[in-house]
Structure 1
């Protein structure tokens, strides 16, 4: 409020100073003017006054009464003081406007300033004019004293006029100032306030536009500027959010390095791959933040050749490894000025694994097919060379050929089965399965095999639980698991089939106390053709594809399979199946 009233107060004080100065100037000019007029009048009439005084002092026709009357008529007192200080003439007593005290003061002033004897002076409201004269043998000073009440009245009138003018002026200034403040100063201040808010980033600030003239134009321009800034900020914010969302949700890691080698941007995928947080990278030199020589060389090649470079390197992660392909490209401005480089990291681990799986699959299939085919061909050639004439050898060789052909057939059948369950259009025939009855029907199938090895087969599958699934495919799963448990358990061992029910799922466990699986081999047992003990697996008639088929069938039911094993103490497989089958 104080700042708003400051201009009006300043203008008011300025006007008061001007008006008071004008009053003082007019009063002084009026005073000087009156003194000049009186001096001229008395100077002209002085000879006439001197004649009267000479006539009185020389005893001629002028008497004291006539002299007093004369002084009273002209309203001017006459005082003649000799050089000896004697007052020879004094008509002050007939003039009521001049008192004795003023007269004595004037006489003292005249005696003190003899060199200014020809100048009139004003003492209070009385004007005196000294005239040095020699009348006869008497020398002295004739002092003409005249009251000037009109001068005081005029001065009062001047100050009264100035006061009224000042009052009217102040009122006019108030209204004019208020109008100027309302129409110009206040809009400008409001616009300045909005400009300050805009400078602080508050682009929602607005000012009133109902003013006219330049102030109104300023208000409208400020509001237009605010709206444009708000639109630009909103648009820029949306673009930044969209760009940030795109960069952070990229499946590939991204890093932006400026022309000096400092990291300016990293996305979420990059942090997920390399670890740490944004503050560990942004603002630091790339070779200090990224401890991989392959990346350093890629960046240096881009700086050196100024062209797109692609490299492949391996990123070690604890006990695992991740294969990354980094593609880097230089960044130039519109004027071909170097701005930095951008690196994109593509995770090709799955592609590498797929390629390795394909190589392993071809190698394993070739190896698995080679053994029975070689055996069949070798024994066939032996028979053709004459061994078939020996009946005992003929029967033995034919049995070996039959066994190897059966093994070959089993291998091909498992390959076809695995290929079928891995296809995207693999179809399950979903039905309601009573799990207790279902598992009970499977036990007799493997019971004979267990009895041949003197293995005890225990079951704990009580209850009545209905699960949705494909019974024929689930039959493959549990027969395979129980057969493996029997195959890898020594004589007089124990195999246990357990069933547990939960709110929305069931868990079927197949447990044995056989040879077990080494801990480092457990993650690989579901790979195709992978065998922990290759010689033992072949002797048991396994193809190395059974667990791979089991895993695919369980996952097709949206379930899961887990393995816990200790070498020499046995293995347990847990199959989790949901009661309701969903296609999501």
Structure 2
């Protein structure tokens, strides 16, 4: 009921209904009384009393039914209020015997209806409670799912600058532990990144349906989810003594799969970076100039040597056209080589040409080759510019050397042959003085041949790093005196040799014979390459680690362009076959090899026309009483 209806209001309304039912009777009674008065001449007083009595009787007649109805309605209302306000079970209502039967039917139907309404209300309350619980569970599930997606999203799209893969995975595991209340530990293998914990060797178990592994020893129960990508295992997610739901197992499986992908991705990225760094370092360290050109005939890579060759800043090389490179070099080509770049544009191969560098020329070998991808599709062209000037010079020197050695051997052999043929003549009786002169010449020629052979053997040992040294403490003055005495007397005729090497200098640690050979070669060169009376000055000094022996001469000197090459093998300043000095170009190379074997140094200072100064630096010894230590 929308409003509360009191019993007083209901009683008034019942009496009003009775009054409204009796009021229409009053006019009828009044009209009937008038008719009686007119017809029978009944006294007025009797008529009024009759009317009043009729009214009183009518009122009394209506009061008792009204009271009966009012009492029944009161009982019904009290019952209705009890049904509405009470949560307990309500029994059916009991009416008085005089209550109308309709009210009994009404109360019975109302009781049935109230029971159904109460049952429906209880069902609605129960349903509402279940819905609220389901909504709450669903909300919690969605929130957890969102958190799990946020955790996995960190693996899929790490923020920049990105930390290491192990740090990302460790952070995701910690967030999952906070979200689920499960204690998960992360173990990564050493080759992957850094080991975050000591790996426990647990007993074997069987794989469960989620792809993880449950292991159990005598005390603990473990859930192990391997972190894999393909057939490679990078680590494990381990849960011990914690109950896991199916959702937790599925999430750990997804997390381990994503972690395997990110670890493999990072390892591949690191490998690519390392390979790229190694490749770049190799290309930048190469002596050759390298250029890569794409299909558009534009430069996509050029190393530092190429930028230096073109004299173009490194950062401006990328994007230059192939024609620009060739045009920059074509201006320095010899006229006979100008057409060579047209051949390079049309095909691949090896091309040789010369480039002018000021007053000098450099010999260049250009290798042009196609660049292909993994499917062998041509994606561009590679150009390797190699400076072969040194090789060209070596080839020329070797060619000159062969001619020179042939000449050097031919002269003493021809002399020996002539002398022997003269002495073998039977038709002439030679005196002893002439025979002695001829045999002396033969001996000197054989010594010259032996010297050439020894030079070849020494340079071979030096190349093979097999030169042997009998090292001992030795005085510098003794080495100098021994080398001077070893010079042939006929060779030193007219030569002035002046030595100021003090005997008080520290001892050397070296091979006396080999060091004498070095000085003998220097003396021989000072005499041989001299157009006036040779004058050789020998001086020596020392510093904290070395004894320095200098050999100065007044010979022809060495020009600046030859100074850096005089110690090279087969190199001769004067390559003329008719020069009176002779020589194979191996003497100074042998000197340098012997000095290097002593862990020493040899250097030269010279100016053309005034002479040269060669300085040999050999490690010294310190000590007393015959006990020496190498510095």
Name the counterpart of 1:501.
542
CA separation of 1:200 and 1:226: change in aligned 2, threshold 3 A:
farther
Size of the aligned set, in residue pairs, is 444
Between the aligned partners of 1:175 and 1:477, the Cα distance in structure 2 is 99
| 2:560 is equivalent to residue 519 of structure 1 | yes
Alignment partner of 1:566 out of 607, 614, 619: 607
Between the aligned partners of 1:455 and 1:427, the Cα distance in structure 2 is 33
Q: Is 421-430 or 267-276 further displaced after alignment?
A: 267-276
User: Do 1:369 and 1:408's aligned partners in 2 also have CA atoms closer than 8 Å?
Assistant: no
Between the aligned partners of 1:52 and 1:262, the Cα distance in structure 2 is 121
| 2:230 is equivalent to residue 190 of structure 1 | no
Name the counterpart of 2:479.
438
CA separation of 1:466 and 1:379: change in aligned 2, threshold 3 A:
closer
Name the counterpart of 2:296.
260
**Structure number having the greater helix percentage:** 1
CA separation of 1:572 and 1:505: change in aligned 2, threshold 3 A:
same
| 2:458 is equivalent to residue 421 of structure 1 | yes
CA separation of 1:429 and 1:484: change in aligned 2, threshold 3 A:
same
SS in 1 for 2:538: strand
Deviations 1:369-400 (A, max 9, x none): 6677889999999x9xxxx99x9xxx99x98x
Between the aligned partners of 1:350 and 1:571, the Cα distance in structure 2 is 25
User: Do 2:412 and 2:446's aligned partners in 1 also have CA atoms closer than 8 Å?
Assistant: no
Between the aligned partners of 2:562 and 2:126, the Cα distance in structure 1 is 111
Query: How far off is 1:563 after superposition?
Result: 1.3
User: Do 1:248 and 1:269's aligned partners in 2 also have CA atoms closer than 8 Å?
Assistant: no
Between the aligned partners of 1:232 and 1:54, the Cα distance in structure 2 is 104
- How do residues 197-236 of structure 1 correspond to structure 2 at under 5 angstroms? 197=158, 203-204=165-166, 205=169, 206-207=172-173, 208=176, 212=245, 217=250, 220-236=253-269
Name the counterpart of 1:249.
282
User: Do 2:475 and 2:505's aligned partners in 1 also have CA atoms closer than 8 Å?
Assistant: yes
SS in 1 for 2:557: coil
Deviations 1:234-272 (A, max 9, x none): 034225523642563365745433322333345677678
Name the counterpart of 1:477.
518
- How do residues 94-109 of structure 1 correspond to structure 2 at under 5 angstroms? none
SS in 2 for 1:577: strand
Deviations 1:66-107 (A, max 9, x none): 9999999999xxxxxxxxxxxxxxxxxxxxxxxxxxxxxxxx
Query: How far off is 1:411 after superposition?
Result: 5.0
Q: Is 351-360 or 208-217 further displaced after alignment?
A: 208-217
User: Do 1:187 and 1:219's aligned partners in 2 also have CA atoms closer than 8 Å?
Assistant: no
Alignment partner of 2:270 out of 237, 242, 245: 237
Query: How far off is 1:360 after superposition?
Result: 1.2
User: Do 2:307 and 2:317's aligned partners in 1 also have CA atoms closer than 8 Å?
Assistant: no
CA separation of 1:516 and 1:255: change in aligned 2, threshold 3 A:
closer
Between the aligned partners of 1:460 and 1:359, the Cα distance in structure 2 is 41
CA separation of 1:537 and 1:405: change in aligned 2, threshold 3 A:
farther
RMSD: 5.7
Between the aligned partners of 2:543 and 2:525, the Cα distance in structure 1 is 26
Query: How far off is 1:220 after superposition?
Result: 2.7
Deviations 1:455-511 (A, max 9, x none): 461413342433333322221221232344356568787532122223333221011
Name the counterpart of 1:324.
365
| 2:610 is equivalent to residue 530 of structure 1 | no
SS in 2 for 1:503: coil
User: Do 1:455 and 1:486's aligned partners in 2 also have CA atoms closer than 8 Å?
Assistant: no
Query: How far off is 1:52 after superposition?
Result: 5.3
Query: How far off is 1:359 after superposition?
Result: 0.9
- How do residues 382-401 of structure 1 correspond to structure 2 at under 5 angstroms? none
